[in-house]
Amino acid sequence: MSILGIETSCDETAAAVVTDKLDIRANVVSSQIDLHRVTHGVVPEVAARAHTEKILPVIDECLRMAKLGPADLDAIAVTRGPGLITSLLVGLETAKSLSYAWGVPVIGINHIEGHVLSNLVEQKGLRGSQKLSIQKKLLPLVVLTVSGGHTELLLLRKAGQLELLGRTRDDAAGEAFDKGAKMLGLPYPGGPAISEAAAKGRADYVEFPRPMLEMDNYDFSFAGLKTALVRELEGHSKKDIAKNLSNIAASFEMAIVDTLTGKAERAIKEFKAKELWIVGGVAANKLLRRKAQSLAKKDKISLRIPSFEFCTDNAVMIAAVGAIKASQKKFDKVATLAVDPNLELQYK
Ligand code: KG4
Ligand code: ZN
């Protein structure tokens, strides 16, 4: 089977083809980062227009790379939420039109489920259909989902039954990076920009709070960290801030990463997890990856984080969920498949 995946939930126009064994045949991502850099963030109308211009050329290039024609496809998997409604609509309506025109069934996919299962694509030592399910010996496992719109801690005790342990009460971790970067005069997207600026900085320069870390729950709150950064910047001259930019960025990055790993470790201990997964755009953060590695070593658990290209938005992860659903014949009706900008994961 060959599954075409389509992803347009935010600011990446992406298409990919994977097989029913999760082998990647083609992977194309057209990023809108340069467009959104000017406005320091995504303007939905601008994103939707760019998706409209790019979606067909991206799908065309993807099928050419995969050396496949429409008749070779067994399903089209498309992100139906959560995300920006105008961006989601471009991908979904394109998928529905192609499904109708090509006579290929369509499957609506939850973007967050895509991020979670992005970890299945590159499993070492596993081949073919072994990759399609999570091995029992890894359970229970804790999943930290960290992206521009989401920060969630999930628990998987039994395959297919995700439990929500906690989530952010306000801003997501990626949002904190993006807003923090804007305040520091750094470009969009903020995560890589703060990380780069922080590389030579001292993380103990500013004592930023670790929001909710001491609370006996799995929730996060990053809005307060933003306020702490505003206060820190107010207290110093522009010259002072410029001189200490790398130190402030390093302290801010460490506060976010400490909070994320601290909560993940609490969950690992409470549920005696055997494995930690970190997925989503913020999982590309090198400091987070390093701290998670030492945590895994200390707590004697294994750690699984996708390679950089599969942390940020891509269509391979959407096609991968599509492959699993197609193997279970879980197709959607073209007439009723609709976007849902607030789509929730199905929890137990
Ligand atoms: O998963 P993603 O590509 O899109 C959403 O679903 O939101 O995540 C984008 C987010 C942005 O907030 C971006 O700043 C953050 O991921 N990000 C990073 C890094 N690369 C991307 N955050 C920290 N460090 C990075 N290296
Ligand atoms: Zn995402």
**Nearest ligand, measured from the Cα of 172:** 1
Kindly report the pTM of this predicted structure: 0.95
Nearest ligand 1 atom, CA 172: 12
For position 160, what pLDDT does the model report?
81
Q: Whose CA is nearest to atom 14 of ligand 1?
A: 191
pLDDT digits 0-9 by tens, 232-262: 999 889 999 999 999 999 999 999 999 999 9
Report the candidate in 87, 80, 225 with the shortest Cα–Cα distance to residue 151: 225
Identify any residues that bridge with 79 across adjacent strands, giving them in sequence order.
Answer: 109
**Contact in structure between 107 and 78 (CB atoms under 8 Å):** yes
pLDDT > 90? residue 94: yes
> Rounded mean pLDDT of the chain?
95
DSSP designation for 168: B
Instruction: For residue 12, give the ligand 1 atom closest to its CA.
Output: 3
pLDDT reported for residue 136:
86
Q: List all residues 6 or more positions away from 245 whose beta carbon is below 8 Å from its beta carbon.
A: 184, 197, 201
Q: What is the pLDDT of residues 113-162, one digit of tens each?
A: 999 999 999 877 777 777 777 888 889 999 999 999 999 999 999 988 89
Classify residue 341 as exposed, middle or buried by CB count within 10 Å of its CB (0-12, 13-18, 19+): middle
Of 31, 45, 36, 9, the residue nearest 187 (C-alpha): 36
Joined tokens for residue 246? 């790398």
- The phi, psi pair for 278, rounded to 5°, reads -125, 125
* Torsion angles phi and psi, residue 79, rounded to 5: -65, 125
User: Distance, CA 222 to ligand 2 centroid (Å)?
Assistant: 18
Pocket test for ligand 1, best of 196, 282, 288 (most atoms within 8 A of CB): 282
pLDDT, tens digit, for every residue of 178-237?
Answer: 999 999 999 999 999 999 999 999 999 999 999 999 999 999 999 999 999 999 999 889
Nearest CA to ligand 1 atom 21: 281
Q: How far is the CA of 259 from the centre of ligand 2 (A)?
A: 20
Rounded Cα distance between 107 and 103, Å, is: 13
User: b/e string for 284-293 if b means 16 or more Cβ within 10 A?
Assistant: bbebbbebbe
* H-only helix segments in 271-315: 286-299, 308-311
Q: Report the pLDDT averaged over residues 324-340.
A: 96
How far apart, in whole angstroms, are the C-alpha atoms of residue 29 and residue 32? 10
- Which residues lie with the beta carbon below 6 Å from any ligand 1 atom? 10, 147-149, 174, 177-178, 189-192, 195, 280-282, 284-285, 312-313
CA distances from 311 to 38, 61, 83, 170, 233 (A): 24, 22, 16, 22, 31
Atom of ligand 1 nearest to the CA of 188: 14
Query: Taking the CA atoms of the chain, what radius of gyration do you get in angstroms?
Result: 20
Report residue 147 CA to chain centroid gap. Answer: 5
* Residues 317, 121: Cα–Cα separation, whole Å: 8
Q: Whose CA is nearest to atom 2 of ligand 1?
A: 281
Q: What is the pLDDT, as a whole number, of residue 346?
A: 86
Q: How far is CA 25 from CA 62, 68, 228, 337, 344, in A?
A: 9, 9, 46, 26, 29
Type of residue found at 149:
G
